[in-house]
Structure 1
């Protein structure tokens, strides 16, 4: 017994030692593991503990300004109070509703554009359990999340959304704007008619309005009112954002969906210049979303400034001339001129292509007011009449169907059983090419057309048929295209019409009409380029609205350093003998300065020595199934004759008929040139020259 006790007693320390050894090993492993964690992986784990999130947001900047050629501000940025919302990541609809409810206590909102869906979405958030109970689990099982949500909204009745208070409607309107916001991208909640009181209230409560900011924004301002505004164009609102159809184009160029962009006109054409560089701010937050730091990584800069070729003082005067002459013509013969409503004019430097004034005025008889429609000089085309005869004569000379100085007797031509076709007077006599322009002979142009079509007999035997080559259509149009007639002028604008080409027909009478400007149609801009090409010795230059691009500076009125100049661009040189162009220039000079010229009585005594061509085109259209006869009046010109510095084109459609006409084309052209040179003289005197 004693031995057994001793044996057991001796075995106990051994077991304890083994146990202690095992415990020692475990502690050793634990200490080793802690060492590994602390020494080898400590930095990595600490980084995880300290992990932060960095996001960059882009803040929109004002667009560049637009100036006229004399550096007068044409389009400016007007600062306005603005309430914006920049949602943190992961913001839910319930959270946006809370913000909307708080904000509605501080600002008013227009509720006129709320939709039924807006109201249902609000009701759903306020009665979520009740709304969702109306769609059974069996119905919902096969639905996507979007389908389920729409099904829930469908169950909300009209009665349930029909009695919202004014305050509730304002909450809905605010939430509607908050829902448009993208993460870390400022969304304007209200930026028009934000009062100073509203601005102050919001600014004082920003700590209670997560994501909301009281800041300043801008709107486009037009110091000259609607003068030239239809060509300046417009920009989208932030609510509209970038156009959906152009989303890919803009998004790949660094835009956000709610950015304002040029929607039309020069704002659209020069979007890349005017847009500016957004300010980029980097936000640092911890894992819980708490903002730790902000840093501006890219300084914002408003868009570059655009300097136009337009002279706004002159532009205003041209607008006024068109309005006054149009109203005079309408009041003089209100019945005969009942369809007259538009007057269009383009004034251009023929040597550089710089557009000095582009005007369109439309008279609204119901409201007894004028509407600025300058865009019609690019969009609308009309049969122009005899102003194109310069191109016809040049086509005849270059093709060899007439010789320089060749005489043709002006007497009516009768082809087959058709009515005789003659000039505006039966007493024009025998004329050469220059005289045909001076007196505006239709018959001379008819012979050019017939000969280009393959009929060379002279004098033309009245009453007989005429052979005709359809290839002549393409031949004469190719000549016209060299002047910009029937093709793009290349003007720096998002859209321009190229006019309308009539159907190629084997009827020689129609081809004869085209030779006197009474078949194909052209825009006023095309006619301005055409007469400029003649004035500029056959060089066709691209017309342009932009003169310079300038760097932005803080000054409210001055332009910054030059960034880029828009140089003269010659599109083509008329491919013919220079002497032919000289003859047409002389014909145009005689139109305005020689007795018998169709513009002589208006321009003969002018010291600035003008040249040009008059035009009248017969025009028929239908109204209420009834054929209406009217005329289009046109005029093109330039001055001075020997060193032209200004050219113009005028088109006035639907002027009635000759017996009831105010000479509106002549009056507009005369007053435009008088105003241009009077203004030039005044400025020279002021400059001490």
Structure 2
């Protein structure tokens, strides 16, 4: 029997391996394709997302710049104080902040704001209480919404509806501790991601500071650090001009929020809100320290690095002489007080005395002062700001501008005479000088302060060269604007350009009639500030060059040594605004008239200045300022003014004084006494300084 050979069974392994390899190949192909899509098509988008989540920056505030007077006396400093801040990481929720607030409340106390009933509220609102209740009773609050409401509302509407359904009874009766927690959380809620927010920086005690510092490990985002308050070593002296900054709770000014945010400010940054603090905010603010934070995927900060070193704000050296400023304030207060006490019934409307002292050649303001008598409290207060903001009729002090207007317009010539006797225009009351002065020329008109001479200038500028008593005037109303144009060249009726927020340019009378033009010519129609009068007399003293008055002398770089000034960053050079369009001989003529006012017999200020070691020149002024009640005149009054400069041949100081609403007759020559003492003090301080050198 023949045996058959068995056939060998072929192995299936190679075929299965091929299938497996093919599947693996497909998987790798898909993976490579997907990686290509991610890398090529979406790579930039994903990388940007990675960068955004991993690298964050914050800006840390630095101390503001300081201020010094012209002699480098410190007049504004930074006083360090304890501060508790909160910097939230990414992804922090309201419940997380509440937990931190509850822990922080065990270490600090919040200041108890009170309502009109005297009950402590800690600044907590009804909404704050409802938000607190919601976080403590979230499930209960959500149960008050129906499924349909949840389906139809977005998240914001859901939240607001849940808060609305929390009753007043449910949020009443919170304890002091709970209110403090709410107050703390209220401040913490203002914080933006990785941006420090002050929780408390007023009245933080050393004990509170130490407690918080010791427990930072259980207070995520909280820090115990240092903030600064502004300190004014000279107290109220010049304080209104230095100005103030906002509080931490106020932060940037709401009306300028966009302006600040686009310039790198945070909402809780303190900024200048008035005075020189506001004017030079960009200089004083400094450069914030820039810190880069590295966070993980959960938003937790795992590393930080200072990428830009912070720098304290630059320092301001002002033109003000604080010793002179103090003395001018004392002089104003003393003479104002004396005048009121000497004739309280007559001076019952007298409340202010204002003065500006400046270098007429450079525009540097040496002292700007004001005193106000608060009749209600029977107290005298600093009111220097009124020298820039309060306009008053200046009276005869402006006659230098009137005479120059007459010269330049061609209606009078140097040396021209008029007979000083009362002027009577048909249908109007008689106008005159304080007495009949007889025949006067232009220099006499300034020395003796003739009103009638100025009336002739005004009438002629109006087109009437043939005045006859009791006749009507030929009058062109355009003369009003012509004379105002001349006055504006001296700074009268226009802004002086001072580096200070929102100065006034006075008040311009609305009725350009002939009689009002005559009043305008003697300073009894439009109003001017003390600073405008100082610029006006400085322009005459400075041979017709009007310079911009300024407070800032230099900007200095900050240095590590707190008691020293750094190198000069920028100097404020003399800024000539205009040269008056008048013949130089005319200006010299008025200068001579001003000299006679102060130095020659009959000059209205000669008895106060003629015997001084220095030679001064200037002009006195008196303007009627009657008092009215419901249109009825109840009392007579006057504004007393004085402008001047010295030395006459090389002016280095000019001044203006306004004492509004003094009584009639003038039993106390307040403005003249103030002006005399200002120049005495200036040259006395100058002599003392030279002796020390």
1:258-657 alignment, distance < 5 Å: 258-426=268-436, 428-457=437-466, 460-506=467-513, 508-623=514-629, 626-628=632-634, 629-657=636-664
Aligned position for 2:15 = 18
Shift of 1:497: 0.9
Aligned position for 1:228 = 238
2:267 to 230, 242, 257: 257
Shift of 1:640: 0.9
Shift of 1:164: 1.3
Q: Is the 8 A contact 1:72 1:557 kept in 2?
A: no
SS at the partner of 2:574?
A: coil
Shift of 1:126: 1.6
For 2:516 and 2:684, how far apart are their aligned partners in 1? 43
Q: Is the 8 A contact 1:122 1:172 kept in 2?
A: yes
Aligned position for 2:206 = 196
Gaps spanning 5+ residues in structure 1: where?
none
Deviations 1:344-401 (A, max 9, x none): 1100000000000000111112223222221111111111111000000000011111
For 1:494 and 1:433, how far apart are their aligned partners in 2? 39
For 1:499 and 1:38, how far apart are their aligned partners in 2? 75
SS at the partner of 2:536?
A: helix
Q: Is the 8 A contact 1:110 1:173 kept in 2?
A: no
SS at the partner of 1:370?
A: strand
For 1:155 and 1:240, how far apart are their aligned partners in 2? 31
Q: Is residue 172 from structure 1 mapped to residue 186 from structure 2 by the alignment?
A: no
- Would the alpha carbon gap of residues 463 and 126 (structure 1) be closer, same or farther in structure 2, given more than 3 Å must change? same
1:156 to 158, 162, 166: 166
Q: Is the 8 A contact 2:625 2:637 kept in 1?
A: yes
Aligned position for 2:120 = none
- Would the alpha carbon gap of residues 685 and 162 (structure 1) be closer, same or farther in structure 2, given more than 3 Å must change? same
Shift of 1:15: 3.8
Aligned position for 2:195 = 185
TM superposition score normalised by structure 2: 0.93
Gaps spanning 5+ residues in structure 2: where?
114-122
Shift of 1:291: 2.7
SS at the partner of 2:194?
A: coil
- Would the alpha carbon gap of residues 4 and 510 (structure 1) be closer, same or farther in structure 2, given more than 3 Å must change? farther
- Would the alpha carbon gap of residues 21 and 455 (structure 1) be closer, same or farther in structure 2, given more than 3 Å must change? closer
SS at the partner of 2:59?
A: strand
Q: Is the 8 A contact 2:237 2:326 kept in 1?
A: yes
TM superposition score normalised by structure 1: 0.93
Shift of 1:454: 0.5
* Count of residues in Structure 1 that have an aligned counterpart in Structure 2: 676
For 1:330 and 1:423, how far apart are their aligned partners in 2? 27
Aligned position for 2:69 = 68
Q: Is the 8 A contact 1:242 1:260 kept in 2?
A: yes
For 1:538 and 1:520, how far apart are their aligned partners in 2? 22
Shift of 1:14: 3.7
Shift of 1:157: 2.8
- Would the alpha carbon gap of residues 409 and 33 (structure 1) be closer, same or farther in structure 2, given more than 3 Å must change? closer
1:124-163 alignment, distance < 5 Å: 124-139=134-149, 142-163=152-173
Q: Is the 8 A contact 1:473 1:504 kept in 2?
A: no
Shift of 1:125: 1.6
1:228-247 alignment, distance < 5 Å: 228-247=238-257
Q: Is the 8 A contact 1:318 1:357 kept in 2?
A: yes
Q: Is the 8 A contact 1:74 1:223 kept in 2?
A: yes
SS at the partner of 2:590?
A: helix
SS at the partner of 2:307?
A: strand
Shift of 1:144: 4.3
Q: Is the 8 A contact 1:71 1:558 kept in 2?
A: no
Q: Is the 8 A contact 2:407 2:413 kept in 1?
A: yes
Q: Is the 8 A contact 1:242 1:258 kept in 2?
A: yes
For 2:495 and 2:31, how far apart are their aligned partners in 1? 80
For 2:232 and 2:560, how far apart are their aligned partners in 1? 19
SS at the partner of 2:662?
A: coil
Shift of 1:151: 2.9
- Would the alpha carbon gap of residues 622 and 139 (structure 1) be closer, same or farther in structure 2, given more than 3 Å must change? farther
For 2:48 and 2:363, how far apart are their aligned partners in 1? 65
Shift of 1:105: 0.3
SS at the partner of 2:637?
A: strand
Shift of 1:146: 3.3
Q: Is the 8 A contact 1:73 1:557 kept in 2?
A: no
- Would the alpha carbon gap of residues 433 and 558 (structure 1) be closer, same or farther in structure 2, given more than 3 Å must change? same
Deviations 1:458-504 (A, max 9, x none): xx321111110011011101100110001111111121111111124
